[in-house]
């Protein structure tokens, strides 16, 4: 019996030890030994058509399961093509392990073919990165990588392995144990919990904001129970969508730049903000100096103490695992007499509860009509991904996911090209659930080579292409803030997307203003295999409401003619 392993074998062994079932990647010279090892083991490798798609697919795998996603690329351009996806995972707190091949050790530092200092490049967009110098260190490096990626506040870790190290053969007896340790998670103190309860008891106009931390803490059930127990109106950040029970009347929808006006006005009027697992992103706060101006107290709960007082000063901080903090609040509130917030909820109802309609000219199909029809038609267990831009915000305003793992979008980095490969990653994670990628014509052209991935693996992802022949969100800003000078945003020369889909064997359905929209959407949703719904939409439709960057809800724009 062979009692030796190559470095590449040890990487695959680590995958198996960590429960990795699938990795997304693209081969190349320096990473060939790892692909060779994967070829001989049971961990599934999904070949994408661009390394960025591997990172986005791995990210979506993680976002939709809560488990760590894995992507693989070769040295040099393979590694640099991962960087956007890694940065995207860093900003959205996604647990991801990226493995990159490196030129062989003796060539490092010589500007060798396909050599880049990828650990230098990714230092600021990873929780941790490392070059592994000897094969015997691989088990420890990978164990650390998975632990750190998923630990406390999740994020990406990059492990760079020179090709000679991947090929190096070591005796099993020489390999140090890779200890499996779990990082201790901080817990909010009793004093902190008591202060939060006192604030809830003493305020009349509280609002809860749910952020992406609810997902990563696995705390949706606790969050919903807390909302139900207190009756406090609650809004959601983009990444908090799915935290709230979609049937809860106290849910106000998404807040922020393109959030619902009544949610933003509630924040402006609130005397208490309970910010749970969110980081006061500028798309949420606008001008932080005028955010929640009437709030006498802000309670901020987060796993990362560095978030406290970074943007918005918090009077009470709950530093700890959100699930535990919510359980502690629940226990403390048992038997507690709380104020009724009925009058406050009634007041919020007067703040306006409808999305403004940006009417299309006759003969044009509004994109919002397509999205409304789609969201009516999709099954309740569907996973929805979006790309970045107007369609993303229109969807976020409307979608009511049943859990935080079913709406996947690039929030912090706002990476165009995310939506379609993300849907592929989510579909591999959930082969029995319907997955819909809602994309624009700009972002889809950054990733549509992945149609080949759909075909190769018979992935039944449904692509909804909102084609307004523009980079719509930038065009909207040009209309509103740049005097209507439409610099480089017209995509008047788009290709025939239906023909492109057909070339990859993907069924395409076209809709425009002359089509029966509901019939077409129903036919699309029912397709058993991959399909493209190509919607030719009104080019000048804007996404409202909109709070211009750096302002407050007092400056909300609900029409281009305001």
Partner 1 sequence: MNKAFVMRDGRALARIIHLTHRFGCSYTRIEAHAEERGFFTTIDLAGPAEALRRLDAAVQTIIAYDKETT
| One residue of 128, 205, 319, 534 binding partner 1 per CB under 8 A | 128
Q: Is the CB of 180 or the CB of 201 nearer to partner 1?
A: 180
Q: Is 404 in the site for partner 1 (CB under 8 A)?
A: no
- Cα–Cα distance, 302 to 318 (Å, whole number): 6
Compute the chain's Rg from CA coordinates.
24
Residues 391 and 371 sit within 8 Å (Cβ to Cβ): yes
3-state class (DSSP) for residue 153: coil
Whole-angstrom Cα distance, residue 120 to residue 99? 15
User: Shortest approach of partner 1 to residue 553 CB, angstroms?
Assistant: 23
- Dist. CA 24–CA 46, nearest whole Å: 5
Count Cβ atoms below 10 Å from residue 39 Cβ, excluding itself: 9
Q: Closest distance between partner 1 and the C-beta of residue 306, in Å?
A: 4
22 in Cβ contact with 46 (< 8 Å):
yes
**E strands along 76-191, which residues?**
96-102, 128-131, 156-162, 169-171
Restricted to residues 70-99, the positions that interact with partner 1 (CB under 8 A) are none
Give the CA distances from residue 85 to residues 269, 405, 409, 422, in Å, rounded to whole numbers and listed in that order.
Answer: 38, 18, 12, 10
Q: Which two tokens stand for residue 496?
A: 């025939």
Q: Taking the complex as a whole, how short is the minimal distance between the CB of residue 312 and partner 1, in angstroms? A: 11
Q: Does 152 bind partner 1 (CB under 8 A)?
A: yes
Q: Which is nearer to partner 1, 313 or 505 (CB)?
A: 313
Q: 323, 398, 346: which is closest to 368 by C-alpha?
A: 398
Provide the 8-state DSSP code for 106. G
E-only strand ranges, 172-307:
206-210, 234-236, 251-254, 272-276, 297-302
Using rule CB under 8 A, residue 287 touches partner 1: no
Site size for partner 1, by CB under 8 A?
17
Can residue 310 be called a binding residue for partner 1 (CB under 8 A)? yes
> Using CB under 8 A, which of the segments 2-10, 42-50, 91-99, 299-307 binds partner 1?
299-307
SS3 of residue 189 by DSSP? coil
- Output the six-digit token pair for 391: 């369609």
CB of 310 to partner 1, least distance (A): 4
Q: For partner 1, which stretch binds (CB under 8 A), given 106-114, 151-159, 438-446, 502-510?
A: 151-159
Nearer to partner 1, 51 or 144 (CB): 144
Are 501 and 508 in contact, with CB atoms under 8 Å apart? yes
In Å, the largest CA–CA distance within the chain is 78
Shortest separation between residue 448's beta carbon and partner 1, angstroms = 35
> From the CB of 411, what's the least distance to partner 1, in Å?
18
What is the C-alpha separation between 410 and 426, in angstroms, rounded? 14
Residues sharing a CB contact under 8 Å with residue 128, sequence separation 6 or more, in sequence order: 144, 145, 148, 157, 158
State how far the Cα of 144 lies from the Cα of 25, in Å rounded to an integer: 21
Question: Residue 228 interacts with partner 1 (CB under 8 A)?
Answer: no
321 lies in the site for partner 1, by CB under 8 A: no
Strands 44-47 and 22-25, sheet pairing: parallel
Among residues 18, 51, 307, 321, the one that binds partner 1 under rule CB under 8 A: 307
- Stretch touching partner 1 by CB under 8 A, among 71-79, 204-212, 246-254, 303-311: 303-311
CA dihedral 455, 457, 463, 469 (to 10 degrees): -50
Distance, in Å, from the CA atom of 223 to the CA atom of 232, rounded to the nearest integer, reads 11
In 406-479, where do the E strands start and end? 407-408, 435-440, 462-467
Say whether residue 127 binds partner 1 (CB under 8 A): yes
Among 5, 147, 203, 300, binds partner 1 (CB under 8 A): 147
DSSP assigned state of 540: T
CB closer to partner 1 out of 149 and 161: 149
Among residues 115, 137, 144, 369, the one that binds partner 1 under rule CB under 8 A: 144
Neighbours of 244 (CB within 10 A): 25
**Shorter beta-carbon distance to partner 1: residue 148 or 423:** 148
Any contact of residue 151 with partner 1 (CB under 8 A)? yes
Q: Does 309 bind partner 1 (CB under 8 A)?
A: yes
The piece of 149-157, 323-331, 378-386, 459-467 that touches partner 1 (CB under 8 A) is: 149-157
End-to-end CA distance of the chain: 78
CB of 154 to partner 1, least distance (A): 11
Beta bridge partners of 234: 208, 251
Q: How far is the CB of 62 from partner 1 (least distance, A)?
A: 18
- Choices 9-17, 122-130, 364-372, 450-458; region in contact with partner 1 by CB under 8 A: 122-130
Q: Is the Cβ of residue 505 or residue 550 nearer to partner 1 in the bound state?
A: 550
Given the complex with partner 1, which of 59 and 122 has the nearer CB atom? Answer: 122
312 vs 18: CA distance, rounded Å: 38
* 269 part of the interface to partner 1, by CB under 8 A: no
Binder to partner 1 among 304, 347, 403, 512 (CB under 8 A)? Answer: 304
Restricting to residues 349-368, which ones interact with partner 1 according to CB under 8 A?
Answer: none
Out of 171, 172, 183, 190, the only residue in the binding site for partner 1 (CB under 8 A) is 183
Q: Which stretch binds partner 1 (CB under 8 A): 120-128, 406-414, 476-484, 523-531?
A: 120-128
306 part of the interface to partner 1, by CB under 8 A: yes
| Min CB(14)–partner 1 separation in Å | 16
| Residues forming the site for partner 1 (CB under 8 A) | 123-124, 127-128, 144, 147-148, 151-152, 155, 183, 304-307, 309-310
């Amino acid at each position: 019996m062979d009692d030796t392993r190559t470095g590449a074998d040890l990487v695959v062994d680590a995958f198996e030890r960590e429960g990795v079932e699938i990795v997304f990647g693209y081969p190349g010279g320096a990473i060939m030994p790892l692909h060779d090892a994967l070829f001989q083991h049971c961990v599934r490798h999904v070949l994408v058509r661009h390394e960025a798609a591997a990172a986005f697919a791995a990210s979506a795998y993680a976002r939709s399961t809560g488990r760590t996603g894995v992507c693989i690329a070769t040295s040099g351009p393979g590694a640099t093509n991962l960087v956007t996806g890694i940065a995207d995972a860093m900003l959205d707190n996604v647990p991801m392990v990226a493995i990159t091949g490196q030129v062989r050790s003796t060539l490092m530092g010589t500007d060798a073919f396909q050599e880049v200092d990828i650990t230098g490049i990714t230092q600021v967009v990873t929780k941790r990165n490392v070059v592994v110098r000897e094969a015997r260190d691989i088990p420890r490096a990978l164990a650390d990588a998975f632990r750190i990626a998923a630990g406390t506040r999740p994020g990406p870790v990059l492990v760079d392995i020179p090709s000679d190290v991947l090929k190096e053969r070591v005796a099993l007896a020489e390999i140090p144990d890779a200890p499996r340790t779990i990082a201790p998670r901080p817990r909010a103190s009793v004093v902190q919990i008591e202060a939060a309860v006192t604030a809830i008891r003493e305020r009349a106009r509280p609002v809860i904001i749910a952020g992406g931390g609810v997902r990563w803490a696995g705390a949706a059930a606790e969050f919903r129970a807390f909302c139900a127990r207190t009756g406090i109106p609650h809004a959601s950040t983009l990444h908090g969508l799915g935290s709230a029970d979609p049937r809860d009347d106290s849910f106000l929808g998404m807040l922020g730049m393109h959030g619902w006006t009544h949610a933003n006005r509630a924040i402006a009027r609130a005397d208490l903000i309970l910010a749970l697992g969110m980081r006061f992103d500028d798309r949420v706060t606008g001008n932080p100096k005028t955010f929640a101006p009437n709030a006498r107290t802000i309670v901020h709960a987060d796993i990362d103490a560095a978030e406290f007082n970074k943007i918005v000063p918090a009077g009470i901080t709950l530093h700890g695992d959100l699930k535990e903090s919510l359980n502690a609040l629940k226990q403390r509130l048992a038997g507690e007499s709380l104020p009724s917030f009925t009058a406050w909820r009634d007041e919020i109802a007067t703040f306006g509860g409808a999305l403004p309609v940006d009417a299309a000219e006759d003969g044009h199909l509004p994109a919002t009509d397509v999205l409304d029809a789609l969201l009516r038609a999709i099954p309740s267990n569907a996973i929805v991904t979006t790309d970045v831009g107007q369609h993303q915000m229109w969807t976020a305003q409307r979608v009511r996911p049943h859990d935080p793992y079913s709406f996947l979008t690039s929030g912090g980095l706002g990476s165009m090209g995310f939506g379609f490969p993300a849907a592929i990653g989510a579909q591999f994670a959930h082969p029995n659930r319907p997955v819909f990628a809602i994309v624009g014509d700009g972002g889809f052209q950054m990733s549509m080579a992945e149609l080949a991935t759909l075909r190769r693996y018979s992935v039944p992802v449904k692509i909804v292409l909102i084609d307004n022949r523009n980079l719509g969100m930038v065009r909207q800003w040009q209309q509103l803030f740049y005097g209507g000078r439409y610099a480089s945003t017209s995509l008047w020369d788009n290709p025939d997307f239906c023909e492109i889909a057909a070339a990859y064997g993907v069924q395409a359905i076209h809709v425009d203003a002359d089509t029966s929209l509901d019939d077409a959407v129903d036919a699309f949703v029912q397709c058993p295999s991959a399909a493209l719904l190509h919607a030719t939409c009104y080019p000048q439709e804007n996404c409202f409401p909109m709070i211009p960057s750096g302002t407050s809800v007092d400056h909300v724009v609900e029409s281009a003619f305001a």
